[in-house]
Amino acid sequence: MEKVTSGWINGFVGVLIFSGSLPATRAAVADFDPVFLTVARATIAAVLALAFLVIFREKRPARADLVSLVVVALGVVVGFPLLTALALQYVAAAHSIVFVGLLPLATAIFGVLRGGERPKPAFWLFSCIGSALVAGFALMQGVEASPVGDSLMLGAIIACGLGYAEGAKLSRRLGGWQVISWALVLSLPVMIPLALYTLPSSWDGIGGQAWLGLGYVSLFSMLVGFIFWYRGLAQGGIAAVGQLQLLQPFFGLVLAATLLHETVGWSMIAVTGAVVLCVAGAKRFA
């Protein structure tokens, strides 16, 4: 029971950290090319992760773990950051919440497929209701859709759900921070040349918000958040703790309104309350 409680606490901290990812990405792509942003954030995080692995003298992962680490890297190091960065050129950060609302459901599905979990039928009911509430709320914000942006966001959610579930399964053997660190290090030989190739021709037009966005997604979204998130999923269950992501859009909307001056209505309070009930219900029947 104590381990499960710790998992929910770690998961909640991870969600809080990830909540700033889309607003920070939106701020960064205003001045940075999306491809450069993706490879730069991965390169910075990978260098830090490599330093941690060396300092703590972590053993190399077994050969059998390499395939899973590649899946994690493709899902959360490359796939989700790149696809969301591209999508946020077409849609507002608030509109992207429509798809983030589907991420807990995607994580739960991959938790069943890859993690061997078997939630009760009532869990799926609460998960679907929560996802529908989040998506419906975001659609009510009145922001314009984009077929290209929506397709990219849907691909990002699928990639991220798979990367979360695969990483959580692997964390049971390697540890949470070790999984994301090794996944980042595996991507480093590809990311460094791409970062150098996509360097901006000039740094003069890059504003302070873009630099802050790059710093946040590199340190917190790409590394620190995963330390808590993978530990939480491994301890409390992929499908169950994954439902905490239903709260992420509302934290993200607050940040979008505060930092990017995007419009958010007061109905958020009522919907957030309903989503909390869905998370509680999903937790009970996971």
Instruction: Give the DSSP letter string of the chain.
Output: -HHHHHHHHHHHHHHHHHTTHHHHHHHHTTTS-HHHHHHHHHHHHHHHHHHHHHHTTPPPPPGGGHHHHHHHIIIIIIIHHHHHHHHTTTS-HHHHHHHHTTHHHHHHHHHHHHH-----HHHHHHHHHHHHHHHHHHHTT-PPP-HHHHHHHHHHHHHHHHHHHHHHHHHHHH-HHHHHHHHHHHHHHHHHHHHHHT--S-STT--HHHHHHHHHIIIIIIIIHHHHHHHHHHHH-HHHHHGGGGGHHHHHHHHHHHHS-----THHHHHHHHHHHHHHHHHHH-
d(CA 7, CA 233): 6
pTM of the complete model beyond 0.85: yes
Over 90: is that where the pLDDT of 149 sits? no
Mean pLDDT of 134-159: 79
Higher pLDDT, 23 or 97: 23
The DSSP secondary structure of 119-182, one letter per residue, reads --HHHHHHHHHHHHHHHHHHHTT-PPP-HHHHHHHHHHHHHHHHHHHHHHHHHHHH-HHHHHHH
Q: Band the pLDDT of 284: cuts 50, 70, 90.
A: confident
pLDDT in tens, 211-256: 999 999 999 999 999 999 999 999 999 999 999 988 887 787 677 6
pLDDT value, residue 144: 61
Residue 59 is part of which domain span?
2-285
Q: Please give the single-letter amino acid code of residue 204.
A: D
Mean pLDDT of 13-29: 89
pLDDT in tens, 102-146: 888 999 999 999 888 889 999 999 999 988 887 777 677 655 667
| Half-sphere exposure in the Cβ direction for 165 (13 Å, CA) | 24
Higher pLDDT, 214 or 271: 214
d(CA 205, CA 203): 6
Record the tokens describing residue 253, joined without a space: 């909307």
Higher pLDDT, 247 or 164: 164
Q: How far apart are the first and last CA of the chain?
A: 14
Structural domain total, the chain: 1
| Half-sphere exposure in the Cβ direction for 1 (13 Å, CA) | 1
pLDDT value, residue 17: 94
pLDDT value, residue 266: 64
The torsion angles phi and psi of 90, rounded to 5 degrees, stand at -110, -25
pLDDT value, residue 69: 96
Mean pLDDT of 192-212: 93
